[in-house]
């Protein structure tokens, strides 16, 4: 941490601008809150973010991630017990989102009793949880076992169509969506 990257807060402590004082502080400021050259100041990392400075950037944000085709490689339905292979990098992005403070939910049609006759939600949830544990996904990853998708700030889904927020729906875009729904 360079001393030039610092600013004074309202209590006259020297703080890091990046995390607004959450990242850390100079351990022994002088009477005016400045760097105390006589005391050989040491930088103390913020106990919340361990000096990383980005902890909580996504605090309060919810990310919903589809299982088949995003977390697990999907090559067509092969049965309730064939959950596919781990998609490379999915665990990394999930861990990064969690580290940034996001609440991450995995959702899947595999957790539907209607689609998976003869199995309870608890049985289906356990199959998915066991797969996630076996593939060493973060324990903070939550499983959505309610009907539909969770309400989220961001959806990561291999079958999604992206439409810019508040943008006009033009006829050619509507046609593209319909063609995708028809499988074209």
| Residue linked to tokens 């356990």 | 126
- pLDDT 10s digits, 8-58: 333 334 444 455 555 555 455 555 555 555 545 555 665 555 556 555 567
Give domain limits for the chain: 3-45, 62-177
Do you know the residue count of the chain?
184
pLDDT for res 72 = 92
Say if residue 130's pLDDT is above 70: yes
Q: Which long-range contacts (CB under 8 A, 24 or more apart) does 42-49 make?
A: 43/1, 46/19, 46/22, 48/22, 49/19, 49/22, 49/23
**Fold topology of 62-177:** Rossmann fold (3.40.50)
- The number of angstroms, rounded, from the C-alpha of 134 to the middle of its chain's C-alpha atoms is 20
- Answering whether pTM is above 0.85, one says no
CA distance 155 to 67: 11
């Amino acid at each position: 941490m360079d001393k030039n990257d610092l600013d004074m807060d309202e209590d006259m402590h020297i703080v890091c601008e990046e995390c607004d004082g959450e990242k850390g502080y100079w351990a022994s400021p002088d009477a005016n809150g400045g760097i105390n050259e006589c005391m050989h100041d040491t930088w103390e990392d913020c106990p919340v973010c361990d000096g990383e400075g980005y902890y909580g950037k996504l605090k309060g944000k919810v990310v919903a991630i589809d299982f088949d085709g995003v977390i697990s490689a999907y090559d067509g339905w092969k049965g309730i017990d064939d959950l596919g292979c781990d998609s490379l990098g999915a665990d990394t992005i999930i861990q990064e989102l969690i580290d940034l403070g996001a609440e991450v939910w995995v959702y899947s049609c595999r957790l539907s009793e209607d689609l998976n006759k003869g199995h309870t939600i608890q049985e289906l949830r356990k199959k998915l949880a066991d797969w996630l544990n076996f593939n060493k996904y973060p324990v903070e990853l939550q499983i959505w076992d309610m009907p539909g998708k969770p309400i989220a700030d961001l959806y990561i889904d291999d079958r999604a169509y992206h439409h810019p927020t508040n943008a006009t729906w033009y006829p050619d875009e509507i046609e593209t969506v319909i063609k995708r729904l028809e499988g074209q």
